[in-house]
Amino acid sequence: MKKRLGIIGGGQLGMMITEAAQNLSDEISEIIVLDPTENCPAAQVGAKQIVGDFKDESAIIKLAEQSDIITYEIESGNTDVLSKLKTQIEPSPSTLSIIQDKFSQKTFLSENGLPVSEFYEITSLDDLHEKINELGLPVLLKSRRDAYDGRGNFKITSSAEIKKAYQHFEGKSLMVEKFVNFKMEVSVIAARNTNGDITTYPLVENVHKNNILNVTIAPARVSDNVIKDAEDIAKKTMEVLKGAGVFGIEMFIDHDDRILINEIAPRVHNSGHHTLQSCKTSQFEQHLRAILGLDLGNTDIIHKTVMCNILGPDGFEGKYKPVKLDKDGVYLKMYGKSVSKPQRKLGHFNIVDLSDLESIDRLLKIADGIKNSILITPLD
């Protein structure tokens, strides 16, 4: 029996899940997304849209009535509402509720023997002073919920900044963690299907700029030992987490080649966009295979790939001219967002080494050239 797929969130991730679902037409009959923005990216590629907030109970119930299975592209869904629904939800609301609170996520990981930076819950300014005395500076003060693109983080490097950092998050529940002096940020896109089968994509390298992912290099340029450690940690994480679907596991590699998990996203992940061209099975198809209980697809990287995000430039908000790119081995994906805002993710491109002769350094140089040639300019 074909299933009607409901997706909470119809931004770029929902859009690319929708496109993958359209290619699985033997399994999926219809795609419905819940998103507050009229004509959201997923709706533009053919998903039916319910316009409403991700946390709006009646909108979620409406989505559930129209769906046989629900998944999500954002982790801020209302788990109280979701857990009351009869409709199948993947990953499960219980997995989501562990992950959507950074403190409960880190507690869960460390209780299961997975490596994370030292962390504490913070309940008051005095408490923060106390915990910083134990951890030493620098630390990151983090909002426990609803953070993205680093907007919920405040780095404290001197005692003078403690009060300011605390006040910055007035009224939010907080945690603090030791700042990791990492040499590289990496991630593993892992999948677990409803039968419990687990696959992982090869480790990739992530370069952030202003706390936002800028470039992903697939595969990561690290030793075989580090690759194996990261894969083991990712597999163990998937075994303990239980949920079905694709998960993005963000990690740090420190200067002694030790791996620490930064955080887990219970969904397809920006650092997995390279799989659209580098692998036989994209992370979006893999996610659907996982939640539908199909066999998981092959995750080998067939061609080295560099993924670059296209972000809205600072100092400009408004409609922008269409972006075009026509170059062999370069795959542009714009998300159909009509308005650019500073640092907003508008699209990405993958540079794929189709010849298998290029070095990563050369791909990065090409990426830089393309980045500089893409201008987001006002539509007049």
One character per residue 300-319, x = contact with Mg ion (rule: CB under 5 A): --------------------
Total residues belonging to the chain: 380
165 binds, among ligand ATP, Mg ion, none (CB under 5 to 8 A by kind): none
Measure the CA–CA gap between 268 and 348, rounded to whole angstroms.
15
Nearest-angstrom CA–CA distance, 115 and 121:
17
Q: How much is the CA Rg of the chain, to the nearest whole Å?
A: 20
Partner in contact with 323, chosen from ligand ATP, Mg ion, none, beta carbon below 5 to 8 Å by kind: none
Query: In this structure, what are the phi and psi dihedrals at residue 297, rounded to the nearest 5 degrees?
Result: -85, 170
d(CA 8, CA 105): 21
- Angstrom distance (rounded) from CA 228 to CA 262: 18
Site membership for ligand ATP, residue 148 (CB under 6 A) = yes
Binding piece for ligand ATP, criterion CB under 6 A, among 16-24, 45-53, 150-158, 349-357: 150-158
Q: State which of positions 261-290 bind Mg ion (CB under 5 A).
A: 263
Spatial distance between the Cα atoms of 79 and 93, rounded to a whole number of angstroms: 5
- Omega prior to 138 cis, within 30 of 0: yes
Kindly state whether residue 169 participates in binding ligand ATP, applying the rule CB under 6 A: no
The interface with ligand ATP within residues 224-283 (CB under 6 A) comprises 250, 262-263
Residue 233 DSSP SS3: helix
Contacted by 231, from Mg ion, ligand ATP, none: CB < 5 to 8 Å by type: none
Residue 88 or 100: which CB sits closer to ligand ATP?
Answer: 100
140 binds, among Mg ion, ligand ATP, none (CB under 5 to 8 A by kind): ligand ATP
Identify each DSSP E strand in 67-143 by its residue range.
69-72, 88-89, 119-122, 139-143
Place of tokens 């299933």: 3
Q: Which is nearer to ligand ATP, 151 or 280 (CB)?
A: 151
Compute the half-sphere exposure of residue 351: CA atoms within 13 Å on the CB side of its CA: 21
Site for ligand ATP in 4-33 (CB under 6 A): none
Please name the residue that has the structure tokens 């907080």: 174
Distance CA 173, CA 141 (A): 11
CA 256 – CA 221 distance, rounded (Å)? 16
CB of 208 to Mg ion, least distance (A): 9
Site for Mg ion in 243-262 (CB under 5 A): 250
- Rounded to a whole number of angstroms, the minimum distance from the CB of residue 168 to ligand ATP is 14
Instruction: Compute the half-sphere exposure of residue 205: CA atoms within 13 Å on the CB side of its CA.
Output: 17
CB of 251 to Mg ion, least distance (A): 10
CA-nearest of 349, 348, 347, 328 to 338 is 347
Question: How far is 139 from 142, CA to CA, in rounded Å?
Answer: 9
Contacts of 148 (CB under 8 A, 6+ apart): none
Residues binding ligand ATP: number (CB under 6 A): 18
By CB under 5 A, what part of segment 138-177 binds Mg ion?
none
Stretch that binds ligand ATP, among 46-54, 106-114, 178-186, 233-241 (CB under 6 A): 178-186
149 binds, among Mg ion, ligand ATP, none (CB under 5 to 8 A by kind): ligand ATP
Q: Which is nearer to ligand ATP, 221 or 319 (CB)?
A: 221
When asked if residue 153 is in the footprint of ligand ATP (CB under 6 A), the reply is yes
Structure-block tokens of residue 61:
């119930």
Rounded CA-CA distance 339/261 in Å is: 34
Among 140, 233, 249, 366, binds ligand ATP (CB under 6 A): 140
Q: Which of 176-184, 186-194, 294-302, 365-373 is the region at the interface with ligand ATP (rule: CB under 6 A)?
A: 176-184
**151 or 183: CB nearest ligand ATP:** 151
Q: Closest CB to ligand ATP among 45 and 147?
A: 147
Judged by the rule CB under 5 A, the positions of this chain that interact with Mg ion are 250, 263
Judged by the rule CB under 6 A, the positions of this chain that interact with ligand ATP are 117, 140, 147-153, 177, 179-180, 185, 208, 211, 250, 262-263
